Each structure stands twice: as C-alpha cells, then as structure tokens.
C-alpha cells in the first residue's frame, strides 16, 4: 500500500510522468502510472497550495478515443481539469525526441526509426513532427508562468515554435 506524502507549500506543479504499455507490462499498470499517479501528484499539488499546473499529456488525448493510450491520457486530462487549478496547461507533444538511453530508459527501435524518417519530413505538418523534449518543457513552463485562467492545450506545432529567450541575448 502506498503511503500518502505531502508536499511543502508550492505555487506551481509540473508533471511529466508517463510510461508505455510495453514498459509497464499491462494496460492496468500503464493506467496506474499515466492516470492514477499523475492524478495523485496533481492532488498533492493542490493540497500544497498550487494554483497553476503544467502536465505533459499526448497528441490525440481524448477520453472517448477507441485507442487505449489516447483514452487514458484524455481521462487524465478530464480528471485534472476538475481539481480546481486556476490555470492548467496540457502539453500535447507529438513523438518526443531525446536521449532516453542516457536517462536509463530502454531504447525503442520503432521510435528510432520514426524519428529518423521525421528528420526528412519537413513536409509533415508541425503538429505531427517529432519534437525535442526540452522544447516541450520550455513551452510548458512559459505557458504555466503566464498563468492564463482556465485550461489551455499546447499542441505540438505551437511548441515547435517556442524559443528559449535566454538564447536570444
């Protein structure tokens, strides 16, 4: 049984927690991470005073989807939307590009092939192009700090255009 932990007082919560069905081992285990654990962190954030939250979701998130992965992500978004955050931002990236293996995550051969194909896919609409995880993090952070009221969704194409202001100096 998992013990309840409390967070110190916080203003903002950022959640980039997720797995794959293959790594999790089952749909139930996937749901436990991508829905239950994300919801637990978001609830803990609200209990600690957070009024703004940013969450990495997925392109295609939809609670009514026939695709299990997208349905769970959509259910997560719906559940978090009911927690009372003054400002809630969902980042919905396309395929995330980054060095997973250096983080101790298993390599994904299909993902590597897709990333290679996307490098030559300038013809792809921006929402479907692979996106660097750092760009997603930066765009999500900027949107949460703006604190626009209500729920916002950052699509991958919009995050593709995000630039680090520190690099503009």
What does the pLDDT read at residue 110? 53
* pLDDT(4) > 60: yes
Q: What is the pLDDT of residues 148-160, one digit of tens each?
A: 999 999 998 889 8
Q: What is the pLDDT of residues 11-52, one digit of tens each?
A: 999 999 999 898 899 999 999 999 999 999 999 999 999 999
What span, in angstroms and rounded, lies between the C-alpha atoms of 69 and 148? 28
Backbone angles phi, psi at 28, to 5 degrees: -65, -40
Q: What percent of the chain has pLDDT over 90?
A: 60
Rg (CA), the chain: 16
- Residues 136/91, Cβ–Cβ less than 8 Å: yes
Residue 1: pLDDT band with limits 50, 70, 90: very low
Q: What is the pLDDT of residues 57-105, one digit of tens each?
A: 999 999 999 999 999 999 999 999 999 999 999 999 988 876 545 555 5
12-158 CATH, one of 3.40.50.170, 2.10.240.10, 3.40.50.720, 3.90.1150.10: 3.40.50.720
What does the pLDDT read at residue 97? 76
- Return the higher-pLDDT residue of 107 and 43: 43
H or E segment to which residue 117 belongs? helix 109-119
pTM, two decimal places: 0.83
Indicate if the alpha-carbon torsion angle 9, 49, 44, 59 is positive or negative.
negative
User: Tokens 């013990």 correspond to what residue?
Assistant: 3
What does the pLDDT read at residue 100? 47
């Amino acid at each position: 049984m998992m013990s309840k932990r409390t967070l110190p007082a916080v203003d903002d919560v950022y959640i980039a927690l997720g797995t794959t069905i293959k790594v999790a081992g089952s749909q139930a285990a996937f749901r436990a991470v991508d829905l239950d654990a994300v919801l637990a962190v978001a609830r803990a954030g609200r209990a600690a005073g957070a009024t703004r939250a940013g969450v990495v979701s997925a392109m295609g998130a939809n609670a009514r989807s026939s695709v299990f992965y997208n349905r769970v992500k959509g259910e997560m978004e719906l559940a978090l939307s009911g927690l009372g955050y003054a400002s809630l931002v969902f980042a919905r990236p396309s395929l995330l590009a980054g060095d997973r293996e250096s983080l101790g995550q298993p390599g994904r051969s299909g993902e590597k092939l897709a990333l290679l194909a996307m490098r030559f896919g300038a013809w792809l609409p921006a929402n479907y192009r692979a996106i660097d995880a750092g760009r997603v993090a930066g765009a999500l952070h900027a949107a949460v700090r703006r604190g626009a009221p209500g729920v916002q969704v950052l699509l991958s194409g919009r995050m593709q255009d995000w630039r680090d202001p520190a690099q503009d100096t």
